[in-house]
Structure 1
Amino acid sequence: MTTRGSMTRRPRIGRTLATWGAALALVATAACSAGDGEGDAADAAPEPPASYVALGDSFTAAPFVPNLVEADGCYRSTANYPALVATELGVADFTDVSCSAADTTHMASPQRTATGGRAPAQFEALTEETELVTLGIGGNDFNVFGTLVEECPAVRPRAPRGAPCRTQLNRRSGDGDPLLSSLERTERRVQRVVEQIRERSPQARVLVVNYPHIVPAEGTCAALPLARGDYAYAREVATRLDAALRSVVEATDAELVDLWAASEGHDICSDDPWVNGRQTDFSAALEYHPFAAGQRAAADLVLEVLRGED
């Protein structure tokens, strides 16, 4: 099993997802069928694809989930969900080109990474023989998620009980909400990415991995320091992004790995979060990025989709 990138010493990383990457991605493990002989067959791993390519941003790369691979500044975990899936399936030809801070433009064009490295266009990993592609992308386009986790906490002191981030963004735009309006363009971009994957790898199953819940359904917490009214705003933006990705799946006949639904109750403020809060833990996860438990759950859900389970 081969991957790109080599081990290096731990770099200093102090910026949030606006610098490194992406919108979110995590899931809950679904129960497998049980029974006598039939249950054993249902639980068996699906036939491994001959070739698997993982494309995506930092919620696929999972920076600082042990163990870290620097990979030209992409900061990719050897235990992210693509690696776990490839190991469990026994894929011989596995390539993970996910990269922190990637957006849809980096599928077809090289990416300059935070360390000054140059990551090749992710599409370069695709071939006509590729049989499985997972794609987790869209949250970094137009800096949507970066705005929510950098700019929004920064303006909280102006009106802790209000929605100063929504107010500031709308005032700056002067023409509607810039984050919400950008999601229509993100949808078109992601749809084009899926179409280009099919052009390059016509035999491949294409699984679109959406993003998990990061904002609680109600309440607030110190790990996600938004003004009280901006929690509702952040939830609205995340919900609209999820709707955009679902529309892409429907329009392209791709398959959905529904991390959004499965991660409900595992947001940053929950008792069992699958995404880290504002403090980077160099032994566990970058700030506002997935923990190992979330990557394990994401892998399980990908495997469930491959098995054809509901």
Structure 2
Amino acid sequence: MIASGSRYVALGSSFAAGPGISPIVHPPAGRSGSNYAHLVAAELGLELTDVTYSGATTAHVLDTPQDDAPPQLDAVTPDTALVTITVGGNDLEYVGTFLRGSFLNTIAKPAVLLGRRVANRIRARVSYLKDDAAYQAVADSLTTVVERTQERAPNARILLVDYLTLVGPATRPRLDVPLNEEQLPSVAMMADGLADAFAKAAAATGADLIAASTASKDHAIGAPEPWTTGFTMLPPNLGGFVPYHPNAAGMHAVANLITERVRTS
């Protein structure tokens, strides 16, 4: 158990930052005051430093500034007691691929009026396949992130928190998931490769793995109680939301997984 008042540093990309979840406390980062880090800190009474940033890659955590923000690891100090890490999806363009495919499929639907060949050319502009080397590169980078964190904070508890599932058993092509039956499995395969990269990094470093991907299989898009959003072309200021990202329920679910792990082991 981590003592109340201990220092907690949250590292990661948008699945940790929580864009679109009110309140947004740092607009450039899309960082929510109700993301899982804030919920965990409040529940456990921890002193939070949240440097999560939408669009971050593992390089932005390790050594590359993002916008005006320094590398995220700079926030980890020797007195840090808890670190959570959710990053790597942008290395693979995981959500970006899902978004581009959905956008182009939405455009391609009316383009059928110009001919099926035109519509198919629009859809074909997105590749959903990654080779094994791409997934291994993410696993290697996550391993390096954990190792560098261990060097900076030798006594910290480090949790690798993987990504909530977007495409699950209940996910079907529809308005809020405008991919076809051939494209959806490819997105699911990318998610499986990303989850495997987290598992490899945890095994290589001894970090704890919070398998949000597994816990959320039955809460993917299309489920009765989804933990992520579907697709929309409407921006939040016009009544839309941030597509293919955790919703408030998803953030609470991940926070519960983390607090339970910290309290029981």
**TM-score between the two structures when normalised by the length of structure 1:** 0.73
The question of 1:182 aligning with 2:134 is answered yes
Deviations 1:112-156 (A, max 9, x none): 34xxxx111101111011110000011000423311221365157
Q: In the alignment, does 2:180 pair up with 1:227? A: yes
Task: Please report how far the alpha carbon of residue 229 of structure 1 lies from its aligned counterpart in structure 2 after TM superposition.
Answer: 0.5
The counterpart of 2:30, out of the listed 47, 57, 75, is: 75
Instruction: Return the offset for 1:239.
Output: 0.9
Deviation for aligned residue 1:281: 4.0
Tell me, in whole angstroms, the C-alpha distance in 1 between the residues paired with 2:101 and 2:40: 35
Equivalent residue number for residue 98 of structure 1: 52
**Matched-pair contact (CA < 8 Å) for 1:153–1:227:** no
CA distance in 2: counterparts of 1:188 and 1:68, whole angstroms? 32
C-alpha separation between the residues in 2 aligned to 1:75 and 1:299? 18
Q: Which amino acid aligns with 2:16?
A: T
Which residue does 2:78 correspond to in 1?
Answer: 128
User: How far, CA to CA, are the matches of 1:184 and 1:263 in structure 2?
Assistant: 23
Report what 1:169 is aligned to.
127
Give me the CA root mean square deviation: 2.5
Q: Which residue of 2 aligns with 1:242?
A: 195
Letter in 1 for 2:264: G
- 1:1-310 residue pairs with structure 2 within 5 A? 47-48=3-4, 50-70=6-26, 73-91=28-46, 93-113=47-67, 118-151=68-101, 153-155=103-105, 157=108, 169=127, 177-178=129-130, 181-217=133-169, 219-279=172-232, 280-281=235-236, 285-308=241-264
* Residue pair 1:275, 1:291 contacting (<8 A) in 2 also: yes
Q: Which has the higher contact order (CA 8 A, sep 6+)?
A: 1
Work out whether residues 285 and 291 of structure 1, in 8 Å CA contact, stay in contact via their aligned partners in 2. Answer: no
Which letter does structure 1 place at the counterpart of 2:258? V
Moved more, 194-203 or 274-283: 274-283
Alpha-carbon shift at residue 233 of structure 1 (Å): 1.0
Tell me which amino acid in the other structure corresponds to 2:79: E
Structure 2 contact 105–178 (Cα < 8 Å) conserved: no
**Counterpart AA for 1:294:** G
**5+ unaligned residues in a row in structure 2: which ranges?**
109-115
Q: What is the rounded CA distance, in whole Å, between the counterparts of 2:241 and 2:103 in structure 1?
A: 20
Contact (CA 8 Å) 2:97, 2:127: kept in 1 or not? no
Contact 1:180 1:237 in 2 (8 A): no
Q: SS of the counterpart of 2:48?
A: strand
Deviation at residue 269 of structure 1 after TM alignment: 1.8
Q: Distance in 2 between matches of 1:187 and 1:166?
A: 28
Q: Distance in 2 between matches of 1:271 and 1:155?
A: 25
Identical aligned residues as a percent = 33
Q: TM-score scaled by structure 2?
A: 0.85
8 Å CA contact 2:21, 2:35 repeated in 1? yes
Give 1:252 shift.
Answer: 0.7
Which structure has greater helix proportion? 2
Query: 1:97 is matched by which residue type in structure 2?
Result: V
Q: Do 1:166 and 1:233's aligned partners in 2 also have CA atoms closer than 8 Å?
A: no
Mapped contact 1:62–1:285 kept (Cα < 8 A): no
